[in-house]
Chains A and B, each alone.
Chain A
Amino acid sequence: MKDATGVILFSRSEQHAFEWTPNRTHIGTLVADLTIQILTIVNNKKTPSRMNAEIAIALRDVTLSIGGTRIIDHISLELQKGRTFALVGQSGCGKTTILRLIMHLVEPNSGAVEFAGQSQTKQEVPKMRHRIGYVVQDGGLFPHLTARENVELQSIYLGRSAESIKQRVGELCELTQFPEEALGRYPGQISGGQRQRVGLMRALMLDPDVLLLDEPLAALDPIIRSELQADLREIFRQLGKTVVLVTHDLAEAAFVSDAIVLMRDGRVVQQGNIKVLVDQPAEPFVSAFIGAHRTSLHVPNEN
């Protein structure tokens, strides 16, 4: 399966490029084409009918302006339980703000944000936050706490027993393939990829219903990135949780998610799997956005 992923192809394409396509100037274009085709197949295979699935998170006509600038413009969105969603779009389009709205880190000017079918009162928000794991862009690990202390913080706050904490940390190390012996290190002492794994462990500590990830792989180099993408996909599949992932990388979105929510200027442009986006673009921007991803690898023609 791994070889069938676009990202792996991307990372390996340099070696194979010359054998495969001697006549094309833009090998990347071909690779991306291939990728999307393969991804489409992959996604089609694993998309059982979930038409009547329960709604985990819903945004109802949400609008948010900060300092006179409209960040979110009448967005309505329903995220079904157990599925993996990718919020995709250019930077500044409001992807991260959606996550912050879901976490009630910002409150909308109008509209409602629902969790498990309910609007959350101020008193309910902390409890709700225990049921949602949130990994901010660079992991958001506290630099003054060791990896272990970061992961355990929430459980200690909630007064969980030392034994249950220890067991849970062990499970999470296994799940995220984080070496247990590195738990005593500070965030400043481990690599970027490992930091992301610790951030994920921390988010999963209380076994939340929902997992939100903001550009979890943005700052990583390509090889580690592809490795983590594969791991993430595996983890999401094992956990069966509702996952919302923010990325600006369409291939990554297509690879790890069931459904893509494409955003532009605070609006949702189109929602659906990659095949829908490719075959039935809702507006020209969708095609343009997909097209922009094709030119990611340029190899000059030697002849």
Chain B
Amino acid sequence: MRRLLFIILALLVLALTPLSRQHDAIGVGSKKFTESVILGEVMSQLIQSTGRESVHQRELGGTKIVFQALVNGEIDAYPDYTGTIREEILAGEEAASLQEMRDALGRRGVMMSKSIGFNNHYALATTRKFADKHEVRSISDLLRVPAARLGFSNEFVERQRDGWPALRRWYGLQHRNVTGMDHDLAYRQLMLGVIDVIDVYSTDAKIEELDLFLLEDDRQKFPRYDAVVLYREALQRSKPQVVDALLRLEGALDEPAMIALNAQAERESISEPQVAAGFLKRQLSLHVDVAEETVMSRLGLRTLEHLDLVRRSLIPAILLAIPLGIWAAKRPALGQLILGLVGSFQTIPSIALLVLLMAPVATLGFSSIGTGSMTAVIALLLYSLLPIVRNTYTGLRDIRQPLRESALALGLSSPFRLLKIELPLASPTILAGVKTSAVMNIGFATLGALIGAGGYGQPILSGIRRNDVGLIMEGALPAAALALAVQGLFELAERFLVPKGLRLF
């Protein structure tokens, strides 16, 4: 009994001890693409140049997630684009002018800088060969080539206001051969000559790399996507010098410069902090010391982040799941309900679960996104329940009837039977459940990167985005190794958790 209490207490301490965090650090966020990460890094380094601590929560997710984090105060600033703000964040508010946008944002406690200096708008691109052959220079010229094969990213095909549907109506394009596809794939298809025209972002480094020809938006359908800094009004009030530093970005970065920075990160595989530091040095003569990032230091940090997610989700899951399993085993009707409920968590796709959890987590005042976010922890916890609950249930139900009846016949109370007989007898099965859960948890924890929770998932996601197998391996291999290590750890734990009498055979 005392040993059990000790184990529970030790587990709780292990699960709940917070890692030291810089709470007064200023948080900068970024979205899940290279340009946003570079801009976020630039902003973070600008803040550091004022002598303040700054944390860059990189690759937090899509627009909605990052903007919500800003409104909630989980980050203080992040880079975005006027077109996105108008079409996505302020959708339905008809904020046409910049002033109207500022007013609408202000109502949410958010301020917007002037343009950083470049417009990363949608554009249609084709190969130079196609452009010359059909003498196509602008989108209007496409009217003369109705047989052109168009391959657009799925998002572009669907965006009603600034995507293909709007473009077709505006220009009266009659093309029938339109395919929706993965954006990275579209580049390859274009170069192979399978399709003729694709959609691109105008600062994409690939435009230069592949020598693509951008069709002029001669009737100005595509809205402007001027890059801006969004920051909290509260930051302006409490730390105006930080905002001043951020606003140094206004007009500092034109389109060719941004394309060059993107190219450095994507083609030359220079880390985003290095790219950002290089830019600040050239453009603003700011010297920022960026710690040389080695594979080992990256790995060390990610391992810590990953283990943090695992311990904070797995341990509470164990402490919750075993009593649930016991409860389920003792009350068969209720048991089916518990098992069904716990099982149903498993069926919710991870990204859906993360998004569903984000709002309640933020409402409760926990960090909903970013490194070690509570959202990821709770999602992992829910995923970890099933194997433990089920194995506890099965382990207890499978105790042979003679043993069960012997315990009853000795006239022992229900708690005494549970602690001294039933749980020890079920312990190998329960421990096997915990083991399964731990290994699964380590795998699932990589999904935390979907909302910027850090860990091994981050290089995996970046690797997928950049089509960089090496980077994917940088996350996948240590995750697999960690899973094996934890498995081994549990094999060791069995030696003192499973009673000796049960290990004889």
Contact = CB atoms under 8 A, between A and B. Distances in A.
Q: Do A and B truly interact?
A: yes
Interface of A: 100, 103, 105, 125-130, 132, 134, 136-138, 140-146, 153-154, 157, 186-189, 202
Among B413, B420, B424: residue with most chain A CB under 10 A = B420
B411 interface: yes
Interface in B274-306: none
B411 A154 contact: yes
A246 to B, nearest CB: 13
Given A136-B406, A140-B402, A188 B504 contact: yes
Contact of B421 (A100, A105, A138, A142): A142
Interface in B384-442: 402-403, 405-413, 416, 420-421, 424-425, 427
A203 to B, nearest CB: 8
Interface in B312-357: none
B505 interface: yes
Contacts of B407: 142
B501 interface: yes
A100 B407 CA distance: 13
A126 B420 contact: no
Nearest to B399: A142
A153 B420 CA distance: 9
B191 interface: no
A141 B502 CA distance: 12
16 contacts: A103-B408, A105-B409, A125-B411, A129-B409, A136-B402, A136-B409, A143-B403, A143-B501, A143-B504, A144-B427, A144-B501, A153-B420, A157-B410, A186-B504, A189-B504, A202-B410
A129 B407 CA distance: 10
Interface string B65-79: 000000000000000
A151 B427 CA distance: 22
Nearest to B411: A129
A136 B408 CA distance: 11
Interface in B491-505: 499-502, 504-505
A188 B505 contact: yes
B502 to A, nearest CB: 5
Given A141-B406, A144-B500, A146-B501, 11 more contacts: A105-B405, A125-B411, A138-B402, A140-B402, A140-B406, A142-B403, A143-B504, A144-B425, A144-B427, A154-B412, A186-B501
A157 B499 contact: no
A126 B505 contact: no
Contacts of B402: 136-138, 140
Contacts of A127: 411
Central interface residue in B405, B410, B502, by most chain A CB within 10 Å: B410
Contacts of B504: 143, 186, 188-189
Nearest to B410: A154
Contacts of A140: 402-403, 405-406, 409
Contacts of B412: 126, 153-154, 157
A77 to B, nearest CB: 19
Contacts of A129: 408-411
A103 B501 contact: no
Interface string B465-503: 000000000000000000000000000000000011110
Q: What 3 A-B pairs have minimum CB-CB distances, sorted nearest first? A: A129-B411, A140-B406, A144-B499
Contact of A130 (B411, B500, B501): B411
Contacts of B427: 144
A129 B502 CA distance: 27
Contacts of B424: 144
Nearest to A212: B409
B193 to A, nearest CB: 71
A133 to B, nearest CB: 8
A202 B504 CA distance: 22
Contacts of A153: 410, 412, 420
Contacts of A187: 501
A153 B421 CA distance: 10
Contact of A136 (B405, B420, B499, B500): B405
A245 to B, nearest CB: 16
Contacts of A157: 410, 412-413, 416, 420
Given A188-B501, A188-B504, A189-B504, A142 B411 contact: no
Contacts of A138: 402
A182 to B, nearest CB: 14
Contacts of B408: 103, 105, 129
Interface string B245-262: 000000000000000000
A126 B421 contact: no
Contacts of B403: 140, 142-143
Contacts of A141: 406
Contacts of B501: 142-146, 186-188
- Among B403, B405, B411, B500, max chain A CB count under 10 A is at B411
A165 to B, nearest CB: 15
B416 A134 contact: no
Contacts of A126: 411-413
